[in-house]
Structure 1
Amino acid sequence: MIIKSIGLNGKAQYAFWVVRLSTNSHISCATQIPSTKRFISTSPTQCTSLIPRASSLVAASPPNLKPYLQLMRVDKPIGTWLLYWPCTWSIAMATPAGQLPSLYMLTLFGTGAFLMRSAGCVINDLWDKDFDKKVERTKLRPLACGSLTEKQAVGLLAGLLSSSLAILLQLNWFSVAVGASSMALVVGYPLAKRYTYWPQFILGLTFNWGALLGWAALKGDLSSSAPFWMYAAALQWTLVYDTIYAHQDKADDIMIGVKSTALRLGEDTKKWLSAFGVGTVASLTACGMASDQTWPYYVALAATTAQLGWQVGTVDIDNGSDCWDKFKSNSWMGIILFSGIVASTLLKENEDSKELKNKLKVREDEMDDVTVN
């Protein structure tokens, strides 16, 4: 069987897949392409991606492993990046003046972000598998289409949480307590969409915990207001990007009774996104002032402001493809701000050194005056 697919933006792209049919094998159901909503669906007992855009790791993985990787969303790393960036901001901001952020800490938190995002996806799908069966974008997820059982998913979840705990235990005990306190949010978030039109707010509380944890890991406390301003900024940032994301599913959500900010805000979405964007920038400004950031930070902040403005100003909330593209673009904001904080921290040493040299020069001049007199 040859499958012809049409890619993004109306440009014809051809992917030829030869699929062998036999009585001893199954053709797997394909994961949805977010921008085109095209599926190839056959057997409900196995769910393997046939999408050329899927990550090479998932595409090349053994059939028995592939559903686990899909359940962890390995082929959609944007979620891991969005979880990771607030961690990096906090680590970079807590780094001593004139130094680069610790590669060890960045790696540790990067690994933790991957594991916890994967665990969150498993928890979400365990709660939502009955809903997922009714939604076009999610009906081919491993638990929804039957390629994995709940028992298998729970086993995977246990492994992910155990590995995450091992990562957390590498930090100081204060950080261990901070990290462990987020688990109630991690487990409870998937339930929020059943009871409130603001599940994106709960996601923001959950997803950006790293803004507090990264600071605590380096400083050993949360006595400064800076990480809390950063947490507030990241929370509002999440309200921007996840509301855009939620607009992909609004028709299905209405049908099955699931709530979201996309449904709550409706045609006023852009006004609210603008307000959340302003709140994000204001909180990041306060964070910069609280942590004595230098000019590169504010240059990066101006760039992130422009990126947020572009998202809100150009997103078509009735176009699932455009919503997905705008959602993915948020990783650029993450790396821009991280780069600005790193540069700002390096420059702090230069400014501190200049100030120290000026003080020493004044002291030398005073000593010379005393000697002359």
Structure 2
Amino acid sequence: MMSKWRHYAHLIRLDRPIGIYLLLWPTLWALWIAAEGVPNLLVLLVFMAGVVLMRSAGCAINDYADRDVDPHVARTKTRPLAAGHITPREALGVFAVLGLSAFALVLLLNGLTIALSVVAVLLAATYPFMKRFHHLPQVHLGAAFAWAIPMAFTAVTGTLPPLVAWLLFLAAVLWTTAYDTMYAMCDREDDVKIGVKSSAILFGQHDRLIIGFLQILTLLLLVAVGILSERGLWYWLGLLVAALFSVYQQWLIRAREPQPSLQAFLNNHWLGMAVFAGIAADYAF
């Protein structure tokens, strides 16, 4: 029984929390800007728990969608579903339980946030299947991750998200597309062989250039957010650090090798943290 629970934990990547971090940081950006400082404790706890639950649910449905693909990819062939340690029905069950748990948490918030949460579930449930239909599943993932931003604004204010929220949403979509393309670069050769689509395949030899363009657009949108929300020195210092991390990531992917590309992807945790630290410090001081 303990081994089964261990496989469930691996299914939802509890041993690899990078996805939690990458979903958490934009959520915290939005909560702090919407509340103009530290948000209501209940709202904060609901969103933090929701981040863990929805990321975990996303991993479960992702492995279900890729159950026939993962055994043929070097990086994913040892995942519990691909290796036969759990069944597809069990993976769907885990997704359902986690998704319903996240929805139960949202019921503690206002009606507008509850309505927006339906979109969040649809985005999370459909993302893993997009790589079979088009070459930009990374954009779909970006929308799924960034949807916490308008939800955060409605949870804090009780009204429709303002312009600054949608600029922050777009920044998070572009940022996610950039770092998930770095991630896709790790599997590009295997994906080409098995016919799976990705932005890394679509961008081809222009991948670094396009990732750089996406990084610049992300930073410019965050500049616009800072201007509209009248942020001060700490915010701009946070963005400066984020820009330096972007340059470092470009250096890591310079040869398009799998391991450095994975390191560049992982480095985005620190980029997201830098932006949040700037926001939090700016409101605090």
Which of the two has greater helix per residue? Answer: 2
The 1:111–1:250 alpha-carbon spacing in structure 2 relative to 1, beyond 3 Å, is: same
Find the counterpart in structure 2 of residue 184 from structure 1: 122
State the distance in 2 between where 1:124 and 1:317 align: 29
Aligned length: 285
Asked if residue 90 in structure 1 is aligned to residue 90 in structure 2, the reply is no
Of 144, 163, 174, 2:112 maps to 174
SS of equivalent residue, structure 1 residue 221: coil
Q: Which runs of 4+ in 1 moved over 6 A?
A: none
Asked if residue 62 in structure 1 is aligned to residue 26 in structure 2, the reply is no
Matching of residues 308-319 of structure 1 within 5 Å: 308-316=246-254, 318-319=256-257
Of 231, 237, 246, 1:293 maps to 231
Find the counterpart in structure 1 of residue 78 from structure 2: 140
Instruction: Choose 1 or 2 for highest CA Rg.
Output: 1
Q: Which has the higher contact order (CA 8 A, sep 6+)?
A: 2
Aligned CA RMSD, in angstroms, stands at 1.5
Task: With the length of structure 2 as denominator, give the TM-score of the two structures.
Answer: 0.95
Find the counterpart in structure 1 of residue 214 from structure 2: 276
- Which stretch shifts more, 106-115 or 236-245? 106-115
Deviation by residue 1:285-343 (Cα, 9 ceiling, x = unmatched): 11112222222111111111111122123324532111111111111111111111112
Of 94, 115, 129, 1:156 maps to 94
Contact 1:123 1:187 in 2 (8 A): yes
User: Structure 1: which 5+ residue stretches go unaligned?
Assistant: 1-60, 348-373
Deviation by residue 1:262-304 (Cα, 9 ceiling, x = unmatched): 1111111111011101100111111112222222111111111
Asked if residue 130 in structure 1 is aligned to residue 58 in structure 2, the reply is no
Task: With the length of structure 1 as denominator, give the TM-score of the two structures.
Answer: 0.74
Find the counterpart in structure 1 of residue 13 from structure 2: 73
Deviation by residue 1:65-112 (Cα, 9 ceiling, x = unmatched): 11100111111100011011111000011124xx43444433321211
- Shift of residue 223 of structure 1? 4.3
State the distance in 2 between where 1:314 and 1:71 align: 28
SS of equivalent residue, structure 2 residue 85: coil
Deviation by residue 1:199-258 (Cα, 9 ceiling, x = unmatched): 111111111111111111101123421110101111111111100000110111011000
State the distance in 1 between where 2:16 and 2:154 align: 29
Aligned-pair identity in percent equals: 35
Equivalent residue letter for 1:255: K
Contact 1:189 1:202 in 2 (8 A): yes
The 1:129–1:170 alpha-carbon spacing in structure 2 relative to 1, beyond 3 Å, is: same
Deviation by residue 1:116-157 (Cα, 9 ceiling, x = unmatched): 011111111111100111111111111111110122222212
Of 269, 280, 283, 1:342 maps to 280
State the distance in 1 between where 2:219 and 2:73 align: 34
State the distance in 2 between where 1:222 and 1:289 align: 20
User: Structure 2: which 5+ residue stretches go unaligned?
Assistant: none
Equivalent residue letter for 1:319: E
State the distance in 2 between where 1:161 and 1:172 align: 18
